[in-house]
Amino acid sequence: MDYDDMLERGIEETPDIESSTGRFEVPEPEVRQEGHATVFENFQSVCSDLGREGRHLLRFLQDELGTSAHIDESRRARLTGEFSRERIRDAVEAYTEQYVLCSECGLPDTELGREQGAEILQCTACGAQSPT
């Protein structure tokens, strides 16, 4: 088998990324106000859907929203201050763009890692690596 045959075979066997069905959708946050705090009810579910640890997403939300927060005994995020569902959704979408979706192929099949002290995003679909 020569190079051209192997190349043609490889192209035929490789799934077409553009034709893959089902665009990844960022999970919709369920939030409610509780006094002067905002409770992110489905925080754990969103973390699972994104494939990320709750502490990592919570740290990002704190920075993005400029507030303090913690994860309660029911695995919900409790944010100090009143934030709308849209504001939380925008922050989760920003997190997804930066820490979940591959910058090369756009797929969510990624893992966070560290290389020489820097945080990197490694795509398991296309093999790309990018700094976060």
For the segment 102-130, what is each residue's pLDDT rounded down to a tens digit?
988 888 889 988 888 889 999 988 888 88
Cβ proximity of 62 and 71 under 8 Å: no
Q: Which CATH number fits domain 27-100: 3.40.190.10, 3.30.30.170, 3.40.50.300, 3.40.50.620?
A: 3.30.30.170
- Chain center to CA of 93: 8
* Predicted pLDDT at 22: 56
Residues 6+ apart with CB under 8 A from 10: none
**Which pLDDT value is given to residue 17?**
56
Q: According to the model, what pLDDT value does residue 57 have?
A: 95
| Confidence (pTM) | 0.77
Low-confidence residues of the chain: pLDDT under 50: 19-21
Structure-token match 């509780």, residue found: 34
What is the structure's pLDDT at 32? 94
